[in-house]
């Protein structure tokens, strides 16, 4: 840790809007004063943007206006000037074709909102899946002092006295209906039991994973990730975050001071320990690209390989975020990583303390939720990065959510050209498929879907489900919800729509999956593969305008984070010209 706080007081960037007696200064201050602001709010105190992803169409974030009020208390107390700013909210549950297509648009919009307006520091008020990475990407690109506070997970769901996890049970119940084990009416009855309170998904899905990644990166106060949305301590966390950002601005503690290579390695290992979402791979690669950190898929495999999954939460395990919080939450996991020599202890955090200082004294209050290492769900919990002639740039698989007996498998490909083809044929009793087959889904990557939908955990055919089979090897260029599970190879790169080898797999080809050796192989000769690729032509027409065109023209592969190519790197926060 080499950070040296800046001297205070000093002039901040907001002074270029609000200081002096020029026409512009009076214009900027005068219009703000229509909100009833006293003159001394413009006396040089830090102006803090509370970037709020509140939206009633992002139900996981629908309570964030209330939390923003608590953030404001903290900012006022610490001598700052809070301004709440609504920003693009990429709702996981509502956006079509997929929220992922809009992560980069949100990041671009938020970046410009930060840079173009009088803010000295920002509180990133996030929760639902894409809202966290999009705002982290924006903060990385502007490098303005920033701190994350998440909305927190929903309370546990219960249906007929059993825990019901967000998303995880949606997939389970959906399969049960297809297998004839549950009626459609029971499925609808269960619907209301899944989402009992404000907050994000209560499993270790992508939202909880990204909240954990923000904390493990050092970008949120310690303990932030797991506090339930409706717990009074979530409001305290928001309040304390407001206090802290003011001091961060005074110290000039920036994202680039916190999000170092070491911080990313801490986050990758944490993801293995919590059994986190594969979506974290794409999001952290994209955030790292914005900071200018050289992070690759190989770092994911190298750092995650020997990390045991010790958090017993769905979809890999049995409990939900509420129990994780009661057990001690992420600080306990970080302490365990530190004790195992798997944590860069001196990584700096937004609190100004090192990661180790924050977690070294915490205790585990429930060893059935945060497991001892010898009872880990899997000893190799990190995301496995597979390579081979079917994925020259890499593909990923989450071992903790997969079936051990399928980790080495050779099977006959049953190919679906796109998601519509899959939906049209998967329930056909005449489909030539059994549990030994390998289901292959094409054209669901960043360009193909477009936006890389969470369809990689495609449901099994009913005739296989009726045999009591619950898992098969599935391969695609899609993503998978963090709440989902199965022996699912994802993010296959290059994607089919960009002419990757996945595009030329045919029904009946043999495919070899060998997770221990990190291999994904299409068993045809090099000459045959080259000939098929030479014959390939794009199947997906480029959109003819709008953001969809921009996305298609500029989105990069999943193996580097699927950011837009012109958004890589940190552009800083220079103050523009006067506006009038």
What is the contact surface with ligand FES in residues (CB under 6 A)? 60, 92-93, 128-129, 166, 200-201, 205, 207
Residue 493's SS3 state is: strand
Picking from 196, 197, 198, 200, the residue whose alpha carbon sits closest to that of residue 210 is 200
Q: Which is nearer to ligand FES, 270 or 481 (CB)?
A: 481
Largest CA distance in the chain: 79
CB atoms within 10 A of CB 531: 12
Q: Which is nearer to ligand FES, 194 or 440 (CB)?
A: 194
Q: Which is nearer to ligand FES, 61 or 358 (CB)?
A: 61
Q: Which is nearer to ligand FES, 200 or 560 (CB)?
A: 200
Q: Which is nearer to ligand FES, 18 or 102 (CB)?
A: 102
What is the C-alpha to C-alpha distance for residues 326 and 202, in angstroms, rounded to an integer?
Answer: 14
Picking from 237, 240, 233, the residue whose alpha carbon sits closest to that of residue 78 is 240
Q: Which residues contact 229 (CB under 8 A, 6 or more apart)?
A: 63, 127, 151, 152, 153, 154, 155, 197, 198, 199, 200
Closest CB 277 distance from ligand FES, rounded Å: 10
Closest CB 547 distance from ligand FES, rounded Å: 21
Q: HSE of 425 in the Cβ direction (CA atoms, 13 Å)?
A: 16
* DSSP class per residue in 252-272: T--HHHHS-HHHHHHHHHHHH
Closest CB 129 distance from ligand FES, rounded Å: 5
Helix axes 279-291, 206-217, angle to 10 degrees: 40
Q: Where are the alpha helices (DSSP H) in 118-167?
A: 131-142
Q: Which is nearer to ligand FES, 167 or 411 (CB)?
A: 167
Closest CB 200 distance from ligand FES, rounded Å: 3
Residue 490's SS3 state is: strand
CB atoms within 10 A of CB 174: 13
Q: Which is nearer to ligand FES, 89 or 560 (CB)?
A: 89
Closest CB 215 distance from ligand FES, rounded Å: 16
Q: Which is nearer to ligand FES, 60 or 413 (CB)?
A: 60
Q: Which is nearer to ligand FES, 128 or 473 (CB)?
A: 128
Q: Give 3-state DSSP helix, strand, coil % of the chain, rounded to 5.
A: 40, 15, 45
Closest CB 208 distance from ligand FES, rounded Å: 8
Closest CB 276 distance from ligand FES, rounded Å: 14
Q: How far is CA 183 from its chain centroid? A: 33
What is the C-alpha to C-alpha distance for residues 337 and 370, in angstroms, rounded to an integer?
Answer: 12
Closest CB 273 distance from ligand FES, rounded Å: 21
Closest CB 213 distance from ligand FES, rounded Å: 14
């Amino acid at each position: 840790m080499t950070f040296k706080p800046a001297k205070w007081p000093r002039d901040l960037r907001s002074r270029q809007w609000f200081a002096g007696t020029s026409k512009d200064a009076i214009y900027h201050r005068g219009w703000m004063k229509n909100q009833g602001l006293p003159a001394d709010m413009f006396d040089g105190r830090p102006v803090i943007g509370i970037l709020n992803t509140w939206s009633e169409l992002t139900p996981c974030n629908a309570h964030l206006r209330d939390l923003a009020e608590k953030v404001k208390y903290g900012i006022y107390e610490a001598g700052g000037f809070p301004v709440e700013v609504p920003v693009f909210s990429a709702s996981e549950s509502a956006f079509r074709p997929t929220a992922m297509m809009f992560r980069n648009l949100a990041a671009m919009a938020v970046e410009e909102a930060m840079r173009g307006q009088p803010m000295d520091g920002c509180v990133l008020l996030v929760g639902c899946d894409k809202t966290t990475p999009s705002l982290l990407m924006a903060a990385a690109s502007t490098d303005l002092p920033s701190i994350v506070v998440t909305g927190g997970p929903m309370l546990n769901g219960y249906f007929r006295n059993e825990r019901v996890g967000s998303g995880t049970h949606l997939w389970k119940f959906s399969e049960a209906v297809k297998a004839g084990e549950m009626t459609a009416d029971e499925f609808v009855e269960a619907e209301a039991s899944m989402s009992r309170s404000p907050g994000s998904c209560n499993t270790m899905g992508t939202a909880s994973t990204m909240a954990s990644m923000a904390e493990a990166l050092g970008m949120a106060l310690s303990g932030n990730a797991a506090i339930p949305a409706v717990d009074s301590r979530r409001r305290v966390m928001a309040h304390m975050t407001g206090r802290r950002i003011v001091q961060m601005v005074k110290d000039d503690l920036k994202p680039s001071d916190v999000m170092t290579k070491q911080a990313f390695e801490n986050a990758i290992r944490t993801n293995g320990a919590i059994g986190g979402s594969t979506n974290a791979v794409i999001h952290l690669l994209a955030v790292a690209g914005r900071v200018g950190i050289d992070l690759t898929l190989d770092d994911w495999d190298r750092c995650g390989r020997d990390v045991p999954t010790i958090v017993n939460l769905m979809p890999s395990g049995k409990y939900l975020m509420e129990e994780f919080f009661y057990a001690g939450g992420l600080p306990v996991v970080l302490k365990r990583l530190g004790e195992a020599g798997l944590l860069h202890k001196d990584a700096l955090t937004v609190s100004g303390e090192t990661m180790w200082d924050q977690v070294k004294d915490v205790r585990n209050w429930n060893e059935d939720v945060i497991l001892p290492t010898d009872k880990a769900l899997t000893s190799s919990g990190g995301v496995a990065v597979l390579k081979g002639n079917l994925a020259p740039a890499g593909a990923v698989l989450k071992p903790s959510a997969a079936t051990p007996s399928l980790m080495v498998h050779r099977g006959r490909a049953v190919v679906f050209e796109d998601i519509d083809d899959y939906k049209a044929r998967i329930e056909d009793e005449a489909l030539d498929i059994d549990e030994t087959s390998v289901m292959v889904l094409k054209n669901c990557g960043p360009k193909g879907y477009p936006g890389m939908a969470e369809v990689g955990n495609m449901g099994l055919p009913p005739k296989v489900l009726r045999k009591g089979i619950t898992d098969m090897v599935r391969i695609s260029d899609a993503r998978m919800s963090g709440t989902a599970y199965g022996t699912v190879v994802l993010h296959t790169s290059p994607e089919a729509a960009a002419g990757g080898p996945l595009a030329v797999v045919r029904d009946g080809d043999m495919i070899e999956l060998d997770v221990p050796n990190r291999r994904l192989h299409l068993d045809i000769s090099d000459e045959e593969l080259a000939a098929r690729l030479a014959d390939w032509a794009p199947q997906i027409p480029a959109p003819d305008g709008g953001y969809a065109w921009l996305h298609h023209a500029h989105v990069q592969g999943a193996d580097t984070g699927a950011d837009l190519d012109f958004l890589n790197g940190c552009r800083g926060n220079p103050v523009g010209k006067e506006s009038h």
